[in-house]
Amino acid sequence: EAGVAQSPRYKIIEKRQSVAFWCNPISGHATLYWYQQILGQGPKLLIQFQNNGVVDDSQLPKDRFSAERLKGVDSTLKIQPAKLEDSAVYLCASSLVLTEEQYFGPGTRLTVT
Amino acid sequence: TQLLEQSPQFLSIQEGENLTVYCNSSSVFSSLQWYRQEPGEGPVLLVTVVTGGEVKKLKRLTFQFGDARKDSSLHITAAQPGDTGLYLCAGGTGGGNKLTFGTGTQLKVEL
């Protein structure tokens, strides 16, 4: 069974530029999550989708971050414009409905200079 | 806001030593998960515990969920260099699949 796929793996941009990350969850997983992880810390949930609907986006900085999952499968997370403090690893995870066990992709390491 | 504090934050030990990582909260969780994350990779689920007082063993790793379901511990016996990584606990609230992740424990096992 294929795992969660993410791309790109690494991205370096200058502040005020925009960037987009892509995630394809495990087949059949209706729930998809985007997390932000600062080096050495635990992941912080940015947004949770169930199918193509948003379940929780309370910690998403909506003035600069946006995410969509239009067809209920893959998802895109965008940052526009980026700030220095956005430098982090962006993790995508998926799970079956009614289960708390999440499966993570390898992440995208973003560096904002 | 639910918080999960892990201790210690950093741990550097020699191969063959034993260690315990703690995960504490003032909140009750319906389940507690432990993940291990290696550099450049996403967290990988090690175990899920759901019953207060539950103990699960995975080879040299022993996981325990506190009786009140507010805390958990991970004990590693005879640590090996392959155990090196960031250990994360995560608490589930039983509704909406949402997890709250702990602050993380960075473990380094040296030869």
**Non-local CB neighbours of A57 within 8 Å, separated by 6+ positions:** A46, A47, A48, A67
Whether the predicted pLDDT of B108 surpasses 90: yes
pLDDT, tens digit (0-9, with 9 covering 90-100), for B12-58: 999 999 999 999 999 999 999 999 999 889 999 999 999 999 999 99
Integer CA distances (angstroms), B94 to A99, A113, B28, B31, B98, in order:
8, 40, 11, 7, 8
| Inter-chain residue contact A100 with B43, CB threshold 8 Å | no
A22 touching B (Cβ < 8 Å): no
Give the pLDDT band (50/70/90) at residue B98.
confident
pLDDT in tens, A5-38: 999 999 999 999 999 999 999 999 999 999 999 9
Q: Tell me the chain B residues in contact with residue A107 when contact means C-beta distances shorter than 8 Å.
A: 40-42
> Smallest Cβ distance to B98: which of A42, A56, A98?
A56
Q: What pLDDT score does A37 carry?
A: 96
- Residue B19 burial (CB < 10 Å; 0-12/13-18/19+)? middle
Mean pLDDT taken over chain B: 93
**B69's tokens:** 């379901």
Dig out the tokens for A11 from the structure.
């991205």
Considering only the beta carbons, identify the residue of B31, B41, B102 that sits closest to A100: B31
pLDDT recorded at residue A2: 83
Task: Please answer yes or no on whether B33 and A31 come within 8 Å at the CB atom.
Answer: no
